[in-house]
Amino acid sequence: MAGIYLTDLIEGSAITLKISNKVKTIEMHASLLRALREDLAVIELDFQSNQRLNFDNVHIEMESQTEDGTPYKWNNVKIGFFEKQYILRTEGAGTRFNRREYFRVGVSKRALMRMVGRGQKEVMLRDVSMTGFAITDQRKELDLLPGDELSVHFEDLGHVLDLVGRVVRVQEEEDVVVYGLRIINLCKDLSSYISMKQRGGRASK
């Protein structure tokens, strides 16, 4: 398949948006709620904000993947707001590209987890990347479900990090339960922290 359109993606497909201006580039995650046309879709942003976001005067690239995991990229994407919904418009078909998974660095540090209705609890942060992180539950008592949202706070290599995530994967192993989460907040020091871990990953162990 040379290229795909928004109508080729299933409802609920995860989307990564790379939003840039002359100063910086940020990544934001979203989900495709429904495709209206080949080049038009309603999306839901995975971003905690009570204010409507403005996407004027920025360059946006979009990445998503088909059910078989093949990644596709769209350039020059536009996002508007109509009838209380974010509307995404693409130019042409998405093109297949080769992309390594975002580099995931091992952390193995205790972190303070907070979750609405459950207070706070100490967990083990297994690893982190620019798009997600994993925590482990050795006592198998957290009982988290896909869609649950929580935050973790930890300190490492001089960085103080607060990540907000949504559970996307639950993996039960023999002696531990691993929860994979997608990051849904903007953490300005995360890129610096991951770069430092890549350069001298064993410095904190």
What residues have CB less than 8 Å from 96, skipping those under 6 apart? 1, 2, 3, 70, 71, 72
Highest mean pLDDT: which range of 61-70, 79-88, 99-108, 179-188? 79-88
- Tens of pLDDT, residue by residue over 126-146, are 999 877 899 999 888 899 999
Q: pTM of the prediction?
A: 0.54
Q: How many residues does the chain have?
A: 205
Contact, 152 vs 125, CB < 8 A? Answer: yes
Once rounded to an integer, what is the mean pLDDT over residues 68-86? 88
| pLDDT of amino acid 23 | 79
Look up residue 188 and give its DSSP letter.
T
pLDDT band at 67 (very low <50, low <70, confident <90, very high): confident
Written as one letter, the residue type at 65 is: Q
- Has residue 59 got a pLDDT over 50? yes
| pLDDT of amino acid 101 | 45
Give dist(CA 108, CA 169) in Å, integer.
19
- Tens of pLDDT, residue by residue over 114-127, are 999 888 999 999 99
| pLDDT of amino acid 182 | 86
Look up residue 103 and give its DSSP letter.
P
